[in-house]
Amino acid sequence: MEKKRGTFTGGLGFVLAAAGSAVGLGNLWRFPYLAAKHGGGVFLFVYIFMALTFGFTLMITEIAIGRKTGRSAIKAYAQLNKNFRFLGYLASVIPFVIFAYYCVIGGWVMKYMADFMVGNGMQTVADGYFQGFMKSLWSPIFWMAVFMLISAVIVYLGVDKGVEKFSKIFMPVLFVLIIGIAVFTMTLKGPHGTAFEGLAIYLIPDFTGMTVGKFFTVLLDAAGQIFYSMSIAMGIMITYGSYMPKNTNLVKSVNQIEICDTGVALLAGMIMVPTVFIFQGVAGLEQSGPGLLFIALPKVFEAMGFAGNFVGVAFFLLVAFAALTSSVSLLEAVVSIVVDKVPSCSRKKACTYVLVLSLILACVTCLGYNVLYFEYTLPNGVTGQLLDIMDYVSNNVLMPIVALATCILAGWVLKPKEMIDEIKSNGESFDRERIYAVMLRYIAPFFLILIFLSAFLTA
Ligand code: PHE
């Protein structure tokens, strides 16, 4: 029996939901760090170029696969070619694993947001506060559960009444918040200089020490960042593509999603680089990830004095919204996979089952910092706990494989024409058609292989 699939009510809902997925922690805690590391404007230029070519190709291919088949990853690949059934299974594991550990990080964000909201923000500055919190037994589990339940309620409400509605409200709020904080940042000055000096580090290309080899690293880092930032190879864009109204212009939608994702990343850099530079100097710019968000930034807010309390609240609200819209997309992808695979299971039931399983996996992940603590050195030289291993396996190993196999399927087994026909199925023009075909068949696979190989090289 064919059940009615959820759909977005219109193009805007689709774009905001997909942008909500794309805009996440990657934009806020990794992009600014990469820009500061790789010569400011040099990285920005390379990133934008790669987003318009590499990122565009991967994203539009996944959405086109979703729209063409009307299925989530688990069925979509098999429907296109029987030999690619395995890819559906592989791609379905990814959002499930990521959802569990992403909610753990979402919980950390919730905890900091709550701290700042009740006026305890300045306590987070104490040495070892973050480590102490993670090592405690119940607090990380509690906040993870809060974050996960909010995501689950949104997905439970449905594609249009939950995911789309939520994105339509919170994405504009997120844009307003990030623009507001960026403007405020420009008024700051502190022990190491002014915001404009920090902005110069961020925007002006610095070619010092740039060799061909180094430039290649910049290119590869930009490609890796785009790949993650655009939520590619997580089954999400296929699922969202399957919910897309058939008459939506695909090229225009992908352009709009890219503008949102890259715009937020650029603004995040405008906030992070100057603030960290002003209060901690150039050395501070070497931080990314949780260290930047939960250790360096609270110190910056403290240094701002009284205003820091309010900036802290606004900032962690922003991070919470960005993380929530991403986790919602992950859960939606998993739920849609279950519903496609087990047609007798209703959406709501699927949502409940997935929630229970994810809660268990996420609890185990939280325990990785205390009861189940161990240290493991990954093949890329990074030492980490359970969460880092889950992150590594999904992002560095599985996702490049899935994206590469998708390029092979779309570019070599099916041929780009089939994708291009789907992209243009409403009669719209596709001016990057030829570049698209070359990107899909040669250049994107080349970068994906390099991204995959770099997972096994020590930094
Ligand atoms: N695109 C997200 C980001 O930049 C990555 C992500 C998407 C992670 C969806 C989890 C879920 O952070």
Q: In whole angstroms, what is the distance from residue 114 CA to residue 177 CA?
A: 17
The DSSP result for 86-144, as a single string, is HHHHHHHHHHHHHHHHHHHHHHHHHHHHHHHHTT-GGGGGSTTHHHHHHHSSHHHHHHH
Band (83; pLDDT cuts 50, 70, 90): very high
- CB of residue 27 inside a 6 A radius of ligand 1: yes
pLDDT-wise least confident of 60-69, 233-242, 292-301, 309-318: 292-301
Query: Distance from the CA of 216 to the center of ligand 1, in angstroms?
Result: 24
Nearest alpha carbon, ligand 1 atom 8:
326
Model confidence at 71: pLDDT above 90: yes
Judge contact between 385 and 373, C-beta under 8 A. Answer: yes
Q: What is the dihedral of CA 13, 18, 19, 23, to 10 degrees?
A: 140
HSE value, Cβ hemisphere, 13 Å, CA-based, for 196: 1
Residue 22 alpha carbon to ligand 1 centre in Å: 6
Looking at residue 459, its pLDDT comes to: 61
The alpha carbon of 24 and the centre of ligand 1 are apart by a number of angstroms equal to 5
Q: What is the structure's pLDDT at 231?
A: 93
Query: 6 in ligand 1 pocket by Cβ < 6 Å?
Result: no
Cβ–ligand 1 distance for 229 under 6 Å, the answer yes
Give the pLDDT band (50/70/90) at residue 3.
Answer: low
Q: Quote the DSSP letter at residue 6.
A: P
pLDDT exceeds cutoff 90 at 283: no
What token pair was written down for 75?
Answer: 């069925």
Centroid of ligand 1 to alpha carbon of 232 (angstroms): 9
Percent of the chain with pLDDT over 70: 99
Question: What's the CA gap between 222 and 209, in Å, rounded?
Answer: 18
Has residue 45 got a pLDDT over 90? Answer: yes
- Note the pLDDT of residue 35: 94
Atom of ligand 1 nearest to the CA of 236: 9
Domain 11-454 indexed as CATH 1.10.4160: yes
**Position in ligand 1 atom list of the atom nearest CA 330:** 11
Q: Is the CB of 231 under 6 A from ligand 1?
A: yes
Q: What is the band of 4 on the pLDDT scale with cuts at 50, 70, 90?
A: low
pTM to 2 decimal places: 0.93
pLDDT at 370 over 50: yes
pLDDT at 295 over 60: yes
Closest ligand 1 atom, residue 322 Cα: 12
Which of 4-13, 46-55, 150-159 comes out lowest in average pLDDT? Answer: 4-13
Confirm or reject: Cβ of 102 under 6 Å from ligand 1: yes
Residue 2 has pLDDT above 70, yes or no: no
Could you tell me the distance, in angstroms and rounded to a whole number, from the CA of residue 394 to the centre of ligand 1?
A: 12
Q: How confident is the model at residue 1 (pLDDT cuts 50, 70, 90)?
A: very low
Judge if the beta carbon of residue 225 lies within 6 A of ligand 1.
no
Q: CB of 185 closer than 6 A to ligand 1? A: no
Residue 209 has pLDDT above 50, yes or no: yes
Q: Is residue 263 pLDDT above 80, yes or no? A: yes
Per-residue pLDDT reduced to its tens digit, 132-141:
999 999 999 9
Tens of pLDDT, residue by residue over 394-405, are 888 899 999 999
What's the mean pLDDT in 223-243?
A: 93
Q: What is the mean pLDDT of residues 324-340?
A: 95
For a mutational test of ligand 1's pocket, the pick from 228, 237, 390, i.e. the residue with the most ligand atoms closer than 8 A to its C-beta, is 228
**Closest ligand 1 atom to Cα of 102:** 10
Cα-based distances in Å from 219 to 33, 49, 172, 215, 254: 15, 10, 31, 6, 22
Please report the atom of ligand 1 found closest to the CA of residue 98: 10
Average pLDDT over the chain, rounded to an integer: 92
Residue 190 parent element (H or E) = strand 189-190
* Minimum CA distance residue for ligand 1 atom 9: 326
Does residue 268 surpass a pLDDT of 90?
Answer: yes
Interval 173-186 mean pLDDT: 92
Helix (H, G, I), strand (E, B) or coil at 193: strand
Report whether pLDDT(110) > 70: yes
Give the 3-state secondary structure of residue 1.
coil
Ligand 1 centroid – CA 228 distance (Å): 6
Query: At how many degrees (to 10) do helices 444-454 and 399-408 cross?
Result: 160
For a pLDDT cut of 90, what percent of the chain falls above it? 77
Residue 258 has pLDDT above 70, yes or no: yes
What is the position in ligand 1's atom list of the atom closest to the CA of 24?
12
Q: Are residues 263 and 90 in contact, defined by beta-carbon separation less than 8 angstroms?
A: no
pLDDT band at residue 289 under the 50/70/90 scheme: confident
Does the C-beta of 98 come closer than 6 Å to ligand 1? Answer: yes
Distance from the alpha carbon of residue 325 to the mean position of ligand 1, in angstroms: 9
| Residue from 58, 326, 396, 398 to probe ligand 1 pocket by mutation (most atoms less than 8 Å from CB) | 326
d(Cα 378, Cα 453) in Å, to the nearest integer? Answer: 14
The domain spans of the chain are 11-454
